[in-house]
Amino acid sequence: MARRSSRKRWLSGLRNTAAALIGLAWLVPLLWMFLSSVSNDADVYRVPPKLWPAWNWGNYARAWAARPWPRYFANTLIIALSVVAFTLVTSILAGFAFALMRFRGSKTLFYVVMSVMMVPQTVLLIPNFILAHTTGLYDTYWIQILPWAASVFGIFLLRQTLSALPTEIFEAAELDGAGPVSMLVRIAAPLAVPSLILIGLNTFMGSWSSFVWPYLMTQNDTVRPIEVGLQAFYGAEGTDWTGLSAAVTFTTLPVVILFFSLQKYFVQGAFSTQGAVQ
């Protein structure tokens, strides 16, 4: 018995050590980025980096002056929060309909929606660009929000989550006179909160870090997000690594803070949907 308990403790210690090491390994790129951001230009090429850099905070001042970051921050927030709001609404509506409402062609329609996942977005860029111009949406917030207002992943996840709920709940609600909207708002949505948080976080981070779409669909700093602004440090003949590292540090910080403050929900969401997906 004592031997088994000791073995358990040993295994648990090993597991925790391995987890801590993997966690630290994930921190290395962030640490490297920070060290580069306060290094001199010549030191940034050292491998491994100097653990006690030159503390050149001037890189931050230079990076901050290079682009209108407050504008970019505001733009990115407006775009990301709008995309999240739209995605959550469209995902829960479509997920609810596909999971719980019976209508003709629902399965076919669901597979059609899923098939969108298979289309590489790259091949649609030029037609989409022409469409953006034709509709007058080019170089606006809307062109960065509307195309992402529905998420196939979100619809799929909520359909699976809601399908896994006992049907008796909804049958009982129906007997009590609840209509589809009432069932959606009062039963389905509250029970799907972890999934909604997962979708929201995924969507937010995806929107925050998207580059190709906003780069192609915008021209002016007044509507451009952070990721496009970061390109300012890549030149045609080389890269300003210290400036880029400083800019990436102060632009990544909000997302890191958001992730750590909401990581409980993130993990919860991932685990709660695991069974549903299976």
Place of tokens 């899923």: 114
Under the binding rule (CB under 8 A), the answer on residue 7 touching another protein is no
Instruction: Compute the C-alpha angle 72/76/79, nearest 5°.
Output: 140
Compute the Cα dihedral for 35, 36, 37, 38 and give only its sign: positive
Please report how close the Cβ of residue 235 comes to another protein at its closest, in angstroms: 4
Please report how close the Cβ of residue 224 comes to another protein at its closest, in angstroms: 11
Give dist(CA 240, CA 41) in Å, integer.
Answer: 8
Give dist(CA 184, CA 204) in Å, integer.
Answer: 23
Per CB under 8 A, contacts with another protein among 137-166 are: 138
CB closer to another protein out of 5 and 134: 134
Q: Give the long-range contacts of residues 182-185, CB within 8 A, separation 24 or more.
A: 183/100, 184/92, 184/93, 184/96
Please report how close the Cβ of residue 233 comes to another protein at its closest, in angstroms: 6
Among 17, 135, 231, 263, binds another protein (CB under 8 A): 231
CB closer to another protein out of 161 and 242: 242
Under the binding rule (CB under 8 A), the answer on residue 122 touching another protein is yes
Q: What token pair was written down for 190?
A: 């509250």
Dihedral pair phi/psi, residue 61, rounded to 5°: -65, -45
Q: Is 87 left (phi over 0), alpha (psi -120 to 50) or beta?
A: alpha
Among 11, 119, 181, 212, binds another protein (CB under 8 A): 212
Please report how close the Cβ of residue 45 comes to another protein at its closest, in angstroms: 4
Among 1, 22, 27, 47, binds another protein (CB under 8 A): 47
Dihedral pair phi/psi, residue 37, rounded to 5°: -70, -20
Among 4, 111, 235, 274, binds another protein (CB under 8 A): 235
Compute the Cα dihedral for 154, 128, 134, 205 and give only its sign: positive
CB closer to another protein out of 144 and 160: 144
CB closer to another protein out of 69 and 98: 69
Under the binding rule (CB under 8 A), the answer on residue 45 touching another protein is yes
Instruction: Please list the residues that pair with 146 across neighbouring strands.
Output: none
CB closer to another protein out of 152 and 232: 232
42 secondary structure, DSSP code: G
Under the binding rule (CB under 8 A), the answer on residue 81 touching another protein is no
Burial state string for 77-114 with b = 16 or more CB within 10 A and e = fewer than 16: bebbebbbebbbebbbebbbbbbbeeeeeeeeebeebe
CB closer to another protein out of 127 and 166: 127
Q: Which helix (H) or strand (E) holds 70?
A: helix 69-100
Binding segment for another protein among 18-26, 128-136, 180-188, 254-262 (CB under 8 A)?
A: 128-136
Binding segment for another protein among 43-51, 103-111, 148-156, 174-182 (CB under 8 A)?
A: 43-51
Residues forming the site for another protein (CB under 8 A): 40-43, 45-47, 122-123, 125-126, 129-130, 132-134, 138, 212, 215-216, 219, 228, 231-240
